[in-house]
Structure 1
Amino acid sequence: MVKKKIKNLLRAKVIFCCSLAFLITPSLQGAEIKTESFRQNPFESVDKMTEQLLDIIEIYKSDYPDNEDAYFSSLNQLMGDFVDFNFVARRVMGKYHSNISPEQRKDFIDVFRRGLIESYGRGLMAYSNESITIVNRQEVKSLKRIIVKQEIRDSVSTFPLQYLLFKKKTDQTWVIVNVSLNGINLTKTFGSQFQNSMKRYSGDLNKVIQDWL
């Protein structure tokens, strides 16, 4: 039921996820995105991600779903530059993270990322020129974590969207580590789903992975 609600919300108005961490991304023109100044500011980083997401939607929407594989691939590359999927997946696994093998950990991260990108991508296709605005822009100064708040508005409704970002120690750039949509915390929601699946399959992670998508 919870999973169905998440998918419905994503289909309605999501500009995420996910993800939920996350890599070096080529742009739509194939040129490599370098560590630009916007990566040093969480608000500018979310702005840039949103801008590039909308570009991808515009490119693929007219032929969707015939081009779904290429569309998901572009989303996966883009989100990899802004989201720390490894961190998010660790949070989702919770206490089980340290009790599984590195290979199992990698397998779950891969299937988790794939599922998130595909659900997110299908939801994004519902986008139809709604207004997307950051509503809490502020000075970052010495902060190491921050919540960036967006509002997605259409003619009748407003959907609050919050990104939690952490500042990386290695290069001082910001990455998304959680998303809350309309008050639903995606990391906690998927974490509950993971724990329930582990209980259902008596701790058999391989079965959890097979059943995740």
Structure 2
Amino acid sequence: MKAIWTAAAAMLLSVSVAQAATNVTPPDELARNTANALLEELKTNKESFKQNPEQLYAVVDRIVLPHFDFDYVSKLVLARYWRKATPEQRTRFQQAFRSQLVSFYGDALLDYSDETVRWEDAPVPEDATDVTVKSEIVPKGGDPIQISYATHLTDGQWKVYDVTVDGISLVTNYRGQFAAEIRRNGLDALIQRLESESNATS
């Protein structure tokens, strides 16, 4: 499982989605272009990132997460508990969950070892509001890992709202994990755990 999510982390850094306007770079093309630039930065600074992961966390936070529809992701992950949450709980959850994703994917990205990346074209119909960008990673000596990115049009921009790795959805995975924890201990306890983990890595 770690190998799969390590691959997802590497590819997650490649996803930056175009603004919705006529003749803009389509999501799949922009993802490929961004991947080349970011993975080159990783190769150049990998040793520095290993010594100081905070530098890599800053890259993930600055370049990747702004292209996620984090409000929507949070709603999908918490599901019915989002509707019951207070505005303060929602804000705290989003901040803590964002920090966890930054550190998780940053740490996993350090295991990236120049695997081959393949992309599928993702034509965007004129009236499309939801597009899936598909790719695969071919590890050295291993089977290809299928990775897809669900994107949708929101407030004039294309943004990512889910990542699926070999059939395993990030949203579905966290939704099940968090729902079980909320049922046992309550939403506040989940938020406090995430905040504690976030503080430990900051």
Give the TM-score category using the shorter length: 0.7 to 0.9
- Please say if 1:151 is aligned against 2:136: yes
CA distance in 1, matches of 2:8, 2:103: 15
Count of matched residue pairs: 192
Please list every run of 5 or more consecutive structure 2 residues that lacks an aligned counterpart in the other structure. 198-202
Identical counterparts, % of pairs: 23
4+ residue segments displaced more than 4 Å: 34-40
- 5 Å-filtered alignment, 1:45-64, equals 45-64=30-49
For the aligned residue pairs, the C-alpha RMSD in angstroms reads: 2.8
**Correspondence for 2:178:** 194
Look up the match of 1:27.
none
Name the residue aligned to 2:5. Answer: 10
Residue of structure 2 in register with 1:25 after alignment: none
Distance in 2 (CA, whole Å) between partners of 1:40 and 1:136 is: 12
Instruction: State the TM-score, normalized to the length of structure 2.
Output: 0.82
Supply the distance in 2 between the matched residues of 1:38 and 1:188 (Cα, whole angstroms). Answer: 34
1:114 aligns with 2:96: no
> 1:10, CA displacement in angstroms?
2.1
Partner of 1:81, secondary structure, is helix
CA separation of 1:115 and 1:167: change in aligned 2, threshold 3 A: same
TM-score scaled by length of structure 1: 0.78
Residues 63-78 of structure 1 mapped to structure 2, 5 A cutoff? 63-78=48-63
Larger proportion of helix: 2
Find the residue that maps to 1:155 and give its secondary structure: coil
Tell me the equivalent position of 1:30.
Answer: none
Is 1:160 equivalent to 2:136 in the alignment? no
Question: What residue number does 2:77 align with?
Answer: 92
Gap change, CA 1:47 and 1:38, over 3 Å in 2: farther
Gaps of 5+ in 1: 23-33
